[in-house]
Amino acid sequence: MNPGSQQFKVSVDEYLSQRAPEDLLVVYISGHGIRDIRGRLYFAATDTIQSRLTATGVEALWLMDRLEECAATQQVIILDCCFSGAFAAGAKGGADDLARDLAEISARGRGRIVLTASRATEFSFEGQAVPGSTITGSVFTAGLIDGLTSGTADVSNLGRISVEDAFRHACNFVRRHGVNQTPQRWSFGAEGTIWLAYAPSPQPKPASPPVPFTTPDAASGVIHGLDGRRMPPSRTNPIPRRSHQVSTPQQVPPAGGTVIGWGGRNPSVARAFATVLEFGRLAVPAGLRGVTAISAGSRHALALTADGNVLAWGDNSLGQTRVPTRRLRGVRMIAAGGAHSLALCADGTVVGWGNNNGGQAKAPNKLSEAVQIAAGGWHSLALLRDGSVAAWGENRDGQTRIPPRVQDVVSVAAGEAHSLALHADGTVTAWGRNNYGQSAVPTAATDIVTIAASGSYSMALRRDGQVISWGRAPTGSVPRNLAGALALSAGESHCLALGSDGVLHAWGDNSYEQCTIPDGLGGLIAVSAGGTFSLALVAVH
């Protein structure tokens, strides 16, 4: 309790050095968190002088280094202090190849999970911040203790509580008490389930299973449950066998969210001028609220609000951000391409604007049964209600020449000059430009639930959580298990994947910081990767 900075370090270091590989390591720190002028997090000790943080505080990166050296393969870090979300800044993500191999043959979970009481810019409150509450300590800690001691966090009635279940219970506890802080969760090299505690007693099972929250898949527009499975048609409102659900604003939280953007800024000023890249145009407009969908194009972006308005920003050299408001009626979906934009209206028609040199912004006149859209570099696609596909725009590489076998389709995706279709049986068909193999679907692409395409490559997510890519795909730390992922998005040279646990993964080219995920980013609803920038739709609490 209340150690000096040196005692703090010695105690923690001694504890970590004594751990064995099979141990479950839990580090819990509750106290004051302080950030320096560069945004780095320090834990305050009794002898910490705020003006001398480097010499008298305990830097979060020091703890991260000690954790890297610790032998324990299961590490749970719980930080309950102000600005604790800044802990993940500079953290090393991902396990090495040996750790992954061991995880695949072991039934035990492994990796590091960090739980923080607040975001990088938020305070962490104690009981006095909750009017009329009997909480005497931290609200976040009180929520964790409540879930562990009462057993209510054991939502699956297994007699044990996972880290994820304990965190979810604490989040609900904080929200229930109306405290203005947002707990965060990160995982590094995590595989399987890490169990935190035994439950005192199994909880009674509910009379009927809860209805899963559904969210639009950012890459496909098809509605999935949190486990990645397509949601069955409602019995009270049956849908014809070959029809498809449309991602509407009602399938995300009613209040919508706000948009966070990053990337688009090249550290090399000379290179930025050479590519004529203007970061200011890519900056997300301030004050966006009630957003239900996002789409990132090559150098522009779109957002759809709950009231059906389409917002656009970025490069407008070809009119791609000049939204034709009078022509849009009840917009349900948006898609940003190379230099053109598309909107799917409630009546199944598609409206386009921006670059139309190849006819990509002008949908066929008879098109009125569309349920999903995709915008490529110089062409456009629409999934029709009967499971067929319509295509228009540039056809120099056959990207709009739809093969006869493209039927019973549930999702479409468009790259720079190639097209993808996901069939109801989980197979994928590709056509168009194939100079890098982007249209040569590998045999491993079976049991697919999500597809994405951009530039000269294609991606698909299998039901077992494996990401498959072909063509000139970005390299990097591709996540190994994304079962039930909420979104998979392909940018020009980088990729984004949003796991069902809310963790965002990014890999590929980072020359413009498009893979540098902002500190403390949480509450994600959807993500979208553009040319050299990334977007995230974040829930507003």
Q: What one-letter code names the amino acid at 261?
A: G
Instruction: Answer yes or no: are the C-beta atoms of 485 and 450 closer than 8 Å.
Output: yes
Task: Give the integer Cα–Cα distance in Å for 391 and 383.
Answer: 9
Rounded to whole angstroms, the Cα distance separating 13 from 1 reads 16
Beta strands in 456-501 (DSSP E): 457-462, 467-471, 487-490, 494-498
Contact yes or no for 43/87 (Cβ under 8 A): no
**Element containing residue 139 per DSSP (H, E):** helix 139-150
Phi, psi of 145 (to 5 degrees): -60, -40
- Please give the Cα distance from 487 to 115 (Å, whole number): 23
Residue pair 170/164 in contact by the 8 Å Cβ criterion: no
- What is the pTM for the complete model shown? 0.56
φ, ψ of residue 171 in degrees (nearest 5): -60, -45
Residues in the chain: 541
Q: What is the pLDDT of residue 287?
A: 75
Question: Residues 304, 380, 529, CA angle at the centre, nearest 5°?
Answer: 55
d(CA 170, CA 182): 11
> Cα–Cα distance between 350 and 363 in angstroms, integer?
6
Which amino acid is it at 31? G
**Cross-strand partners of 115:** 78, 185
The C-alpha atoms of residue 26 and residue 407 are separated, in whole angstroms, by 52
Per-block mean pLDDT, blocks of 10 residues, the chain (541 long): 90 90 88 77 86 87 88 88 55 34 44 77 45 57 85 82 88 77 76 82 40 31 28 29 28 70 66 44 79 94 92 91 92 95 94 95 90 96 94 96 93 96 95 96 94 95 91 88 85 92 90 87 90 89 58
Residue 430, classified by CB atoms within 10 Å of its CB into exposed (0-12), middle (13-18) or buried (19+), is buried
Rounded to 5 degrees, φ, ψ at 223 are -85, 130
The CB-based long-range contact list for 401-404 (8 Å cut-off, 24+ gap) reads 401/431, 402/431, 403/429, 403/431
- What integer pLDDT is reported at residue 451 of this predicted model? 96
How crowded is residue 347: how many other Cβ atoms within 10 Å of its Cβ? 11
Question: What's the pLDDT at 83?
Answer: 56
Between CA 153 and CA 69 the distance in angstroms is 31
Please give the structure tokens belonging to residue 313: 């920003």
Task: Return the residue matching tokens 């951009």.
Answer: 454
Q: What is the pLDDT of residue 271?
A: 45
Asked whether 166 and 196 are in contact (CB, 8 A), the reply is yes
CA of residue 124 relative to chain centroid, distance:
24
Alpha carbons within 13 angstroms on the beta-carbon side of residue 236 total: 0
DSSP 3-state of 406:
coil
Q: What confidence score (pLDDT) does residue 201 get?
A: 56
β-partners of residue 391 are 381
Mode of pairing for the β-strands spanning 110-116 and 74-80: parallel
